[in-house]
Amino acid sequence: MDRDEILRVLRAFEESGLEYVLIGATAMGFHGVVRATEDLGLFIRATADNVERLRVALRASYSDDPHIDEISAADLLGEYPAVRYYPPSGDLYFDILTRLGEAASFDTVEAETKNIGGTRVQVATPAALYRLKKGTVRAKDHQDAAALRERFNLKDEED
């Protein structure tokens, strides 16, 4: 994954005013828990205006890609609110969500602001990432949850 490309996109997110929270392995990396990944996962606020800000940011980063126009508010605000975007660079892809069923959304995931190379980045907290990952069916999510729990001394609500 190209760090410069990620920073360019995160700058575009900030400049467009996109309301988002990074989740997944990329967010873990910003907290010092590093795992190889090929995607940048994020929740965005579920409004048509915010989806347009997302498209503006992606156009600023990938100006020649007509597929950005295929990202629609109808999709992200609909019954299956997730879109996977593959930019032309081929180095990474984006998993863009407005909610994960009833379990989580932009509005319910705790986030903090990190300053990365002069850019403000909204990142899910370690505890929020742990809650997102601990109950999934993917083995790598269980490994991520264990790493987060150990690194940040996290406890389950029932502990």
Residue-wise pLDDT tens digits, 79-102: 989 999 999 988 889 999 999 988
Sort strands 104-105 and 111-116 into parallel, antiparallel or unpaired: unpaired
Write out pLDDT tens, residues 15-74.
Answer: 999 999 999 999 999 999 988 888 999 999 999 999 999 999 999 999 989 999 999 999
How far is the C-alpha of 23 from the C-alpha of 15, rounded, in Å? 20
Write 54-57 long-range contacts (CB < 8 A, 24+).
Answer: 54/13, 54/16, 54/18, 54/20, 54/96, 56/12, 56/16, 57/9, 57/12, 57/13, 57/15, 57/16, 57/18
Please state the pTM of the whole predicted model. 0.93
Calculated CA dihedral for residues 93, 30, 130, 84, nearest 10 degrees: -10
Note whether 109 and 132 are within 8 A (CB). yes
How far are the Cα atoms of 58, 74, 88, 98 from residue 63, in angstroms, in the given order? 8, 23, 10, 24
Rounded average pLDDT over 1-26: 93
- Domain annotation for the chain: domains and CATH numbers: 3-125 (3.30.460)
